[in-house]
């Protein structure tokens, strides 16, 4: 029996290939996601091991809260004397690290997108330098010397002896390159640029005078790291800790994995969408196959096969398809991982490229999903197959074993109501308590139910929809158009399922279009309303900001009026990471409309915090209450609420503090950089000359970009657009799978209609007309899928946007152009899907076709 099943599989290679292809792509997406994130994890795990290579103990500030990416605050340099005095310490040195931007020969700052621009002290005891080593030259010895990483040097034609400009938080100066640094086998540290200074110089230019970021210790031969570490710990003052270098490497690596976990989950959701679409295709394929083999299966029953043997035959066929597809999917996963890396890099996250990591978990999950999904999709058609009575072998009738239309409609409606209920409940909450189901699960399950419901109900609309869509085709191409329309409605459920596979992907695309457009419109509206400044200076890329000196320079210019600095900061809000923005309270009212409803910005300048109104109300706070804010540098602070504001969109934070407060709680390790400057032209100043002054001043600072109101709005829209492109790129795979589904269904339908096509050819239909007939049919199916997807996507988009109104997305905007574009996309997808089946149909041998049984 197994042999019979296997024979069937291999007798239909094309069918096998097309079915396997849809499973393969789903598995590939899952495998690709795992490979991609595992590779990043491994790369960074290795990176941290390398950084601490050869080191035994790290002495650094201990922090109560661990938020943001800045690491612990600096420690006093006198701590070093305490450490050196501990018995068992062979060598101990302090070092500093912050940011420094190297300029190229064209006087442009070299800023990688994603990785940081590092500035640090360099030790001449290379045992303490991790895996860093000199490729050529020597370490800097004076205040005018620097060593830079080999990658930056090579890609910018910088060599030992060149003089380069480097910008640090304190000063922009020129230095002579005296050394080129490599890190183990890499030319840089995971893409970061690196400028190394002699220690005292580093302390000075990195704004860390009298301080160390950390002290690195190597213990004497034979001494126990743990024992020495304990001895050091005893000697240390409060707020400073000693940890083993190995623990520190592991901890940093783990922290990074955690932040990658979010990315992995997001990607897996897209992978699951692809798998979900694939199940539609596989199920449809098996249903058609079983129907086509009805006679064959009935004959097997007639000669004595039991119903369960027939089920097994179909399931074994599915198992083979699933196995083959999963193995291919795993292999193709490497390609997907490569595409993900390229995609991330396209939106600004440059990731270091290393050998891809294939973890056992990737293989197990990939294989399991591929095989289980395929078999699960085949089970229903298989059971249906087992119910074919033996007599069917003798009769030339189509024995329909399927759910009645009424039952299908009832189930569809019930699923639709449940699904929409789940989504709305998840979004707007509290209507029904699902207990363990949290909001996201309710929305996710709801969406799946809606998709299933629409695919069940859509068979009801296939006929009118096809006739409507086919009308222009019939006008344009009378006979072939007519045949195409009639063919597409012959098996409404088959057409509905095929279209539904496309519906899923395009519904999500529509959803992102609506949500994205609403975010853009809301952002534009709030910028228009809330941004009073003429110009905004902000940092491009992901570094922390630019030197406050830029703001100070601007304030001195006669063409410039009010200048408001905004500084970003992470804090621990009851265990989760939150943001606070520090701002110049004496100018903010001139540059940014905050919508202050209680308190005043003058009062904020003296201390305390402003809270956004919705959060203020949700917490039932009153003025004078305190917010417990956990800071890395200063620990837990109970900060008094001195005001309430409404407009959080321009300042991009729900909590605002004065600049003095910000400096007190974030000072000393990089957060004292300006994140944004809101700049006004002076009263009566010429707009062009004011702009010229801002441009000229900002051009001296690496990464600082000047935009006027319109440009700033556009840049915010561009950010949303980039994310849209990324998301829709990820959904593209699900759409491709759906198009493969159309190819598959068409190919199988054409197989069923072999004699008919032969007859059409015999009575004078040209090959070209046959091709057109198939193409029209594919386009009808695809456009139905696109339109269904748009309808479902609009529901998702509108309800999610409505739910986010309180989060600042208060303008609902439906991008009609993009949605019409999707319909056209559907038509083109149908056109492409038809190419192969249409060619096959048009090339049928007439004589064989008309005598085909």
Which stretches of the chain bind other proteins, using CB under 8 A?
478-479, 482-483, 486-487, 490, 755-756, 759-767, 769, 846-847, 850
Q: Which is nearer to other proteins, 765 or 775 (CB)?
A: 765
Residues 717, 530: Cα–Cα separation, whole Å: 16
Contact criterion met (CB below 8 Å) for 566 and 675:
yes
Angle of helix 13-51 versus helix 360-386 axis, rounded to 10 = 160
Kindly state the smallest distance separating residue 748's Cβ from other proteins, in Å. 17
Kindly state the smallest distance separating residue 851's Cβ from other proteins, in Å. 9
Distances (CA, A) of 764 to 214, 580, 665, 757, 761: 86, 76, 85, 11, 5
Contact criterion met (CB below 8 Å) for 735 and 829:
yes
DSSP 400-434: --S--HHHHHHHHHHHHHHHHHHHHHHHH-SSS--
Kindly state the smallest distance separating residue 786's Cβ from other proteins, in Å. 24
Q: Which is nearer to other proteins, 15 or 761 (CB)?
A: 761
Kindly state the smallest distance separating residue 813's Cβ from other proteins, in Å. 43
Residues 406, 412: Cα–Cα separation, whole Å: 10
Exposed / middle / buried, residue 718 (Cβ in 10 Å: 0-12, 13-18, 19+): exposed
Q: Which residue has the tokens 């190819």?
A: 743
Q: Which is nearer to other proteins, 259 or 766 (CB)?
A: 766
Nearby residues of 364 by Cβ (< 8 Å), 6 or more positions away:
none
Kindly state the smallest distance separating residue 846's Cβ from other proteins, in Å. 5
Residues 101, 117: Cα–Cα separation, whole Å: 6
- For 575, the 3-state DSSP assignment is coil
Q: Which is nearer to other proteins, 409 or 769 (CB)?
A: 769
Q: Which is nearer to other proteins, 211 or 294 (CB)?
A: 294
Kindly state the smallest distance separating residue 755's Cβ from other proteins, in Å. 5
Contact criterion met (CB below 8 Å) for 351 and 344:
yes
Kindly state the smallest distance separating residue 378's Cβ from other proteins, in Å. 29
Nearby residues of 6 by Cβ (< 8 Å), 6 or more positions away:
316, 320
Kindly state the smallest distance separating residue 489's Cβ from other proteins, in Å. 8
The strand pair at 101-102 and 117-121 is best described as unpaired
Q: Which is nearer to other proteins, 208 or 760 (CB)?
A: 760
Kindly state the smallest distance separating residue 827's Cβ from other proteins, in Å. 22
N-terminal to C-terminal alpha carbon distance within the chain:
25
Distances (CA, A) of 636 to 18, 612, 633, 695: 60, 21, 9, 40
Q: Which is nearer to other proteins, 355 or 763 (CB)?
A: 763
Q: Which is nearer to other proteins, 408 or 767 (CB)?
A: 767
- For 528, the 3-state DSSP assignment is helix
Contact criterion met (CB below 8 Å) for 757 and 841:
yes
Q: Which is nearer to other proteins, 708 or 756 (CB)?
A: 756
Contact criterion met (CB below 8 Å) for 533 and 678:
yes
Kindly state the smallest distance separating residue 488's Cβ from other proteins, in Å. 10
**Which two tokens mark 30?**
């899952």
Residues 745, 495: Cα–Cα separation, whole Å: 8
Q: Which is nearer to other proteins, 87 or 464 (CB)?
A: 464
* Rounded-to-5 percentages of helix, strand, coil across the chain: 60, 15, 25
Contact criterion met (CB below 8 Å) for 739 and 450:
no
Kindly state the smallest distance separating residue 482's Cβ from other proteins, in Å. 8
Kindly state the smallest distance separating residue 371's Cβ from other proteins, in Å. 38
Residues 726, 605: Cα–Cα separation, whole Å: 41
**Which two tokens mark 809?**
């997305």
Q: Which is nearer to other proteins, 324 or 774 (CB)?
A: 774
DSSP 672-694: TSBSEEEEEEPTT--HHHHHHHH
Q: Which is nearer to other proteins, 323 or 850 (CB)?
A: 850
Residues 399, 658: Cα–Cα separation, whole Å: 78
Kindly state the smallest distance separating residue 769's Cβ from other proteins, in Å. 6
Q: Which is nearer to other proteins, 92 or 779 (CB)?
A: 779
The strand pair at 240-244 and 609-612 is best described as unpaired
Q: Which is nearer to other proteins, 160 or 850 (CB)?
A: 850
**Which two tokens mark 432?**
């029904």
Kindly state the smallest distance separating residue 476's Cβ from other proteins, in Å. 11
| CA-angle at 445, arms to 441 and 448, nearest 5° | 145
The strand pair at 576-583 and 655-658 is best described as parallel
Kindly state the smallest distance separating residue 384's Cβ from other proteins, in Å. 23
Q: Which is nearer to other proteins, 159 or 476 (CB)?
A: 476
Q: Which is nearer to other proteins, 714 or 756 (CB)?
A: 756
Kindly state the smallest distance separating residue 822's Cβ from other proteins, in Å. 29
Contact criterion met (CB below 8 Å) for 841 and 791:
no
The DSSP H or E segment spanning 174 is strand 172-183
**Which two tokens mark 463?**
């006929």
Residues 581, 645: Cα–Cα separation, whole Å: 13
Q: Which residue has the tokens 């086509």?
A: 292
Q: Which is nearer to other proteins, 229 or 753 (CB)?
A: 753
Contact criterion met (CB below 8 Å) for 526 and 850:
no
Kindly state the smallest distance separating residue 744's Cβ from other proteins, in Å. 21
């Amino acid at each position: 029996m197994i042999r019979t099943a296997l024979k069937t599989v291999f007798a239909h290679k094309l069918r096998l290939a097309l079915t396997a292809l849809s499973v393969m792509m789903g598995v590939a997406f899952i495998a690709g996601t795992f490979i991609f994130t595992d590779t990043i994890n491994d790369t960074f795990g290795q990176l941290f091991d390398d950084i601490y290579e050869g080191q035994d103990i790290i002495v650094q500030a201990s922090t109560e809260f661990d938020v943001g990416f800045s690491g612990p605050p600096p420690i006093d340099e006198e701590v070093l004397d305490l450490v050196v005095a501990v018995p068992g310490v062979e060598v101990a040195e302090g070092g500093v690290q912050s940011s420094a931007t190297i300029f190229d020969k064209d006087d442009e700052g070299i800023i990688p997108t994603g990785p940081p621009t590092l500035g640090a002290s360099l030790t001449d005891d290379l045992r303490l330098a991790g895996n860093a080593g000199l490729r050529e030259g020597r370490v800097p010895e004076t205040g005018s010397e620097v060593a830079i990483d080999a990658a930056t040097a090579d890609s910018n034609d910088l060599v030992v002896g060149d003089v380069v400009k480097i910008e640090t938080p304190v000063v922009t100066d020129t230095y002579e390159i005296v050394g080129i640094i490599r890190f183990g086998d890499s030319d840089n540290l995971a893409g970061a640029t690196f400028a190394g200074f002699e220690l005292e110089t580093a302390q000075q230019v990195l704004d860390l005078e009298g301080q160390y970021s950390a002290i690195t210790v190597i213990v004497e031969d034979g001494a126990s790291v743990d024992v020495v570490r304990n001895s050091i710990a005893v000697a240390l003052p409060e707020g400073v800790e000693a940890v083993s270098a190995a623990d520190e490497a592991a901890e940093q690596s783990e922290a990074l994995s955690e932040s990658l976990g979010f990315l992995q989950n997001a990607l897996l959701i897209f992978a699951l969408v692809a798998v979900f679409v694939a199940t539609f295709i596989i199920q449809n394929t098996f249903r058609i196959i079983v129907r086509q083999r009805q006679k064959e299966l009935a004959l097997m029953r007639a000669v004595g096969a039991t119903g369960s043997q027939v089920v097994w035959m179909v399931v074994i066929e599915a198992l083979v398809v699933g196995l083959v597809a999963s193995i291919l999917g795993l292999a193709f996963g490497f390609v997907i991982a490569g595409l993900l890396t390229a995609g991330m890099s396209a939106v600004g996250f440059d990731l270091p490229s290393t050998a891809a990591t294939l973890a056992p978990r990737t293989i197990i999950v990939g294989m399991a999903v591929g095989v289980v999904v395929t078999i699960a999709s085949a089970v229903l058609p298989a059971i249906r197959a087992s119910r074919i009575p033996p007599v069917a072998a003798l009769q030339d009738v189509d024995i329909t074993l399927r759910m009645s239309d009424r039952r299908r409609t009832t189930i569809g409606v019930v699923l639709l109501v449940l699904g929409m209920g789940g989504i709305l409940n998840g979004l707007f909450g509290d209507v029904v308590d699902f207990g363990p189901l949290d909001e996201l699960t309710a929305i996710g399950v709801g969406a799946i139910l809606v998709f299933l419901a629409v695919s069940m109900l859509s068979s009801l609309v296939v006929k009118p929809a096809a006739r409507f869509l086919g009308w222009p085709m019939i006008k344009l191409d009378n006979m072939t158009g007519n045949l195409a329309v009639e063919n597409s409605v012959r098996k409404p459920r088959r057409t509905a399922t095929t279209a539904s596979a496309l519906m899923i992907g395009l519904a999500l695309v529509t959803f992102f279009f609506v949500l994205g457009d609403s975010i853009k419109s809301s952002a534009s509206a709030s910028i228009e309303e809330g941004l009073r400044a003429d110009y905004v200076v902000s940092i491009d890329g992901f570094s922390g900001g630019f030197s406050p000196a830029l703001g100070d320079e601007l304030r001195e210019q006669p063409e410039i009026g009010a200048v408001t600095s905004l500084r970003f900061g992470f804090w621990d809000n009851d265990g989760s990471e939150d943001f606070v923005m520090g701002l110049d309270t004496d100018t903010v009212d001139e540059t940014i409309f905050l919508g202050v409803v209680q308190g005043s910005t003058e009062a904020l300048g003296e201390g305390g915090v402003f809270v956004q109104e919705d959060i203020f109300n949700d917490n039932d706070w009153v003025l004078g209450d305190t917010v417990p804010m956990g800071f890395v540098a200063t620990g837990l602070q109970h900060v008094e609420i001195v005001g309430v504001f409404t407009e959080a969109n321009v300042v991009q934070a729900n909590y605002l503090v004065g600049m003095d407060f910000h400096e007190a709680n974030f000072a000393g390790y990089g957060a004292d950089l300006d994140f944004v400057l809101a700049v006004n032209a002076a009263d009566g100043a010429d707009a062009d000359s004011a702009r010229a002054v801002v441009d000229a001043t900002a051009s001296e600072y690496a990464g600082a970009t000047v935009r006027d109101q319109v440009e700033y709005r556009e840049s915010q829209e561009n950010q949303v657009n980039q994310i849209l492109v990324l998301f829709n790129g990820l959904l593209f795979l699900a759409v491709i799978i759906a198009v493969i589904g159309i190819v598959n269904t068409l190919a199988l339908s054409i197989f069923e209609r072999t004699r008919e096509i032969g007859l059409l050819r015999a009575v004078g239909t040209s090959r070209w007309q046959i091709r057109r007939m198939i193409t029209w049919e594919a386009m009808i199916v695809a456009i139905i899928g696109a339109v269904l997807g748009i309808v479902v996507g609009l529901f998702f988009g509108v309800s999610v946007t409505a739910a986010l109104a309180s989060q600042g997305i208060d303008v609902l905007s439906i991008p009609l152009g993009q949605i019409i574009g999707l319909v056209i996309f559907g038509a083109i997808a149908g056109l492409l899907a038809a190419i192969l089946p249409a060619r096959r149909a048009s090339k049928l041998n007439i004589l064989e076709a008309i005598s085909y049984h």
